[in-house]
């Protein structure tokens, strides 16, 4: 059986397919995290309301932070894959094909040129902040206002609030709506 040489172009196309498959999987996983968060919030709120135990709301911050951080990390990786395709794979394949660099993987650039992209990013940042940060902070406020605040749980709840605020800062920074972050 004759040996078949693998070309650089073939390797780059395999890499492209591989990273796009990873990007697709991450997008599905990331988007489902919002639904999971909504389900968990509804379950915790319902359990707290039915039992009359506002301390159950203290479960919201750690759950929302873990889900929010996972959402954010996946979102960052999704953007990094797009940047890799635009900045490395596309130009290298275009050079091999001897075509204009912008001609390779045009969609990777085209969808970013939408005039509403900035407003979409800003709105998405708001949705992320609402789902992963505002909801658990609201749960803490309800707990604090509930009158059943013990010393130990008060300290815990304040620490949880600080962690949620830390996540909020990361969400805003990574959103890039103020000039930095994911692109």
**pLDDT tens-digit series, residues 163-173:** 999 999 999 99
DSSP-derived letter for residue 130 is I
Kindly report whether the global pTM for this prediction surpasses the value 0.75: yes
What's the rounded Cα separation, in Å, for the pair 135 and 133?
A: 6
Structure confidence at residue 182 as a pLDDT band (50, 70, 90): low
Q: Residue 48: name the closest of 125, 181, 146 by CA.
A: 146
Q: Is residue 46 part of a domain?
A: yes
pLDDT single digits (tens) 5-56: 778 889 999 999 999 999 999 999 999 999 999 999 999 999 999 999 999 9
**Is residue 137 assigned to a domain?**
yes
Structural domain harbouring 77 = 8-175
Number of domains observed in the structure of the chain:
1
pLDDT band at 179 (very low <50, low <70, confident <90, very high): low
What pLDDT, on the 0 to 100 scale, is given for residue 2? 57
Q: Is residue 96 part of a domain?
A: yes
* Residue 28 is assigned to a structural domain of this protein: yes
CA pair distance 83, 87, nearest whole angstrom = 6
Asked if residue 59 is part of any domain, the answer here is: yes
DSSP string, 84-118: HIIIIIHHHHHHHHTS-GGGTTHHHHHGGG-TTHH
Mean residue pLDDT of the chain comes to 91
Residue 147 is predicted with a pLDDT of 78
Asked if residue 180 has pLDDT above 60, the reply is no
Q: Average pLDDT of 120-132?
A: 95
Task: For residue 180, tell me if it sits in a domain.
Answer: no
pLDDT confidence of 65, banded at 50, 70, 90? very high
Residue 133 lies in a domain: yes
Domain assignment present for 169:
yes
What's the pLDDT at 150? 85
pLDDT at res. 148: 76
């Amino acid at each position: 059986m004759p040996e078949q040489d693998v070309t650089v172009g073939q390797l780059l196309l395999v890499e492209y397919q591989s990273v796009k498959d990873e990007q697709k999987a991450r997008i599905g996983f990331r988007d489902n995290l919002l639904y999971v968060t909504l389900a968990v919030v509804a379950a915790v709120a319902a359990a707290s309301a039915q039992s009359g135990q506002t301390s159950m709301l203290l479960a919201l911050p750690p759950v929302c932070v873990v889900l929010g951080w996972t959402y954010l990390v996946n979102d960052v990786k999704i953007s990094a894959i797009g940047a890799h395709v635009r900045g490395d794979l596309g130009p290298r394949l275009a050079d091999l094909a001897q075509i204009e660099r912008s001609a390779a993987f045009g969609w990777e650039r085209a969808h970013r040129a939408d005039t509403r992209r900035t407003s979409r990013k800003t709105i998405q940042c708001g949705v992320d902040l609402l789902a992963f940060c505002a909801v658990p902070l609201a749960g803490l406020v309800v707990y604090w206002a509930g009158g059943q605040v013990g010393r130990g749980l008060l300290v815990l709840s304040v620490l949880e609030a600080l962690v949620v605020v830390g996540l909020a800062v990361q969400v805003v920074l990574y959103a890039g709506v103020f000039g930095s972050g994911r692109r």
